[in-house]
Structure 1
Amino acid sequence: MITWSTRACLLPSWLTEPLWDQFAALLPPREEFDPAHPWGCHRRRDSDRIVFDKLLQVLRFGCSYEGIADTTCSATTIRTRRDEWIRLGIFAQLKQIVLDAYDRIVGLVLTDIAVDGCITKAPGGGEVAGPSPVDRRKQGMKRSVGTEGYGIPLGRVLAGANRHDSPLLAPTLDLLGELGPLPDDITAHLDSGYDSAKTRTALDERGLAGQIARKGEKAPIQVGKRWPVERTHAWHNAFNRLQRCYERVKTVVNAFFDLADAIITLRVLIRRAWTTHRWDTRPTKRP
């Protein structure tokens, strides 16, 4: 059973503490007790920090809510608080704040972007699941992820595993509009699965240049600048909740992806800023 003591081995403190500080700043103020309660003696609300750590454990280890629940927090509380935070848009805000911080301190490489799809398991089915063509038609999920030149995730489109990569390209590219002003010259790096006239039309309509691997020609992943998105898929799959997703509701899956994107981006930010910046809680050794 995973208990509260696993927080130390979940993620390093130099990563979880700033992540929690920013997350806590987004939470609305709340009384410890309900002032409208006639007796004022009902149970205290479980700590938001405990629930946040539980969600991190669910994301990292892929365990069930019942498996992660203990005397500090029940499975029902974890689900209820999760849904409350989703309604408030806190996970999406956290991801965007971390992305903006990375852009200010390090800088997003938006002249080169990469898009690719990845199929994972979805044993429970759900709104973004479909028969997997690579797993005997078992339920699976496909994510079409767009990254900048270093591999920082910019957004994703979720669909059933039976969807082809090509139709998901356009909605994935449209997520770039949420980033604000973009460079005049942007090159999209794609694998041979996107080698079609439809793909080139989609790129032309958005004013993007394309570097697309040719079908039938062997091209190592190191060719061009497509490899960062493959590394980002590996980063995502390190979170077992995303690699084997039991969530059935699309908004919940997106919330876990937003939390994972925030962790990935913050981790890269701290690692790259370690040699150029100083702060009070800076790790003693380079992460």
Structure 2
Amino acid sequence: MAEPWVSDELWRKLEPLLPKPRRKDRHVQFAGSKRTDPRRIFSGIVFVLRTGVPWRALPATGAFPSGYTCRLWLLRWHRAGVWKRLSQLLLAELRSKGRLHWTHAVVDSSSVRAPSGGRKTGPSPVDRRKLGTKHHVITDAMGTPLAVTLTGANRNDITQLLPLVDELPRVRGKRGSPKQKPQKLYADRGYDSDSHRLQLKKRHIEPYIARRRTAHGSGLGRKRSVVERTLSWLHQFRKLEIREEHSVATYKALADLALCLIYERLLES
């Protein structure tokens, strides 16, 4: 029977990307427990990501292993590059169907609370200086997320503009060279910097960034509105809405997996 939290189609794409076990058979004398089915592990990870339940409180049912096991394999697969390869596969499928629009890209950020602290947290200037983490996102022209980075909530948006551009994946899916860079980039006043405009032009990207202390009504908001929707998509995953993970590696792995689930949903729509 199909797992309730993982579609058959997504599992079919993910399974070949998982690292193979080092030993096919258990040792006769020291057999130990049987290996957990990877699909059950993945179902547990997706359940935690969507519902926000603590790892230790993952329901002990036939559908999932323990929360400790799920978290352990989430990090192992993340370090093995599984989520990155899965996102590249799904993005290539989106491009092959004409669902990626490279005419321009859009960047923006949003802060979430981080009560457990950890690396890449900081006092939020919009939440009474409570600890928070900021999600920096770059999307295509229609709001499909292409990359996400994390910083403390007190970091300026401009610090992540070039890292986001450099984080853009090389997307296949059509004949010819992989696509990686948009023609234009739109951003709000938080990214106003002439030096960064120059760096974008050196990367053959035309910057359209609102300037500080200028009148509103430039029309850039119509281009940038899609990224606000994308941030809301990201925060629909309850495990990302409030950062309870002290480990930044675990939180980043969950964010990367969330992008893959968004891609899969876009393919089904």
TM-score, normalised to structure 1's length?
Answer: 0.81
Give the Cα separation in 2 of the matches to 1:56 and 1:222: 36
CA offset at residue 106 of structure 1?
2.2
Cα 1:239–1:196 change in 2 (3 A) is: same
1:201, distance to aligned residue in structure 2 (A): 2.3
Say if 2:198 is the partner of 1:206.
no
Judge conservation of contact 1:141–1:161 (CA < 8 Å) in 2.
yes
What letter is aligned with 1:248? H
Runs of at least 5 residues in structure 1 that lack an aligned partner in the other structure = 1-6, 272-287
Distance 1:39 1:196 in 2: 62
1:162 is displaced (CA, Å) by 0.4
| CA distance, structure 2, for counterparts of residue 183 and residue 134 of structure 1 | 34
Deviation at 1:221, TM superposition (A): 8.2
| Paired residues of 1:111 and 1:186 also in contact (CA < 8 A) | yes
Equivalent pairs counted in the alignment come to 259
Give deviations 1:215-263, integer Å, cap 9, x for gaps: 3433498734111211110100111111111122333222111211111
Partner of 2:253: 255
Give the aligned CA root-mean-square deviation in angstroms.
2.5
Aligned residue among 19, 23, 30 for 1:28:
19
TM-superposed CA distance for 1:267, in Å, is 1.1
Contact 1:118 1:142 in 2 (8 A): yes
SS in 2 for 1:118: strand
The equivalent of 2:67 in structure 1 is: 75
1:237 to 229, 235, 253: 235
Question: Sequence identity, in percent?
Answer: 33
Corresponding residue for residue 81 of structure 2: 89
Give the conservation status (yes or no) of the 8 Å contact 2:44–2:67: no
8 Å CA contact 1:33–1:45 kept in 2: the answer is no
Aligned to 1:226, what secondary structure does the other structure show? helix
- Paired with 1:161 and 1:184, the residues of 2 have a C-alpha distance of 27
Report the counterpart of residue 136 of structure 2 in structure 1: 144
Q: Write out aligned runs for 1:1-287 (5 A).
A: 8=4, 16-30=7-21, 34-38=25-29, 40=31, 42-72=32-62, 73-176=65-168, 178-179=170-171, 181-182=178-179, 186-216=183-213, 217-219=215-217, 223-271=221-269
**1:11-46 deviations in whole A, cap 9, x for unaligned?**
xx7xx2211221122123449974324154x32122
Gap regions ≥5 residues in structure 2:
172-176
Question: Take 1:166 and 1:231, find their aligned partners in 2: how far apart are those partners?
Answer: 21
SS in 2 for 1:247: coil
Question: For the residues of structure 2 that align with 1:185 and 1:111, how far apart are their CA atoms?
Answer: 6
Distance 2:223 2:61 in 1: 49
Seen in structure 2, the aligned counterparts of structure 1 residues 92 and 177 have a Cα distance that, compared at 3 Å, is closer
Change (3 A) 1:39 1:195: closer
Equivalent residues of 1:55, 1:78 under 8 A apart? yes
- Give the aligned residue type for 1:212: I
Give how far 1:195 is off. 2.4
Residues 192, 214 of structure 1: 8 Å contact kept: yes
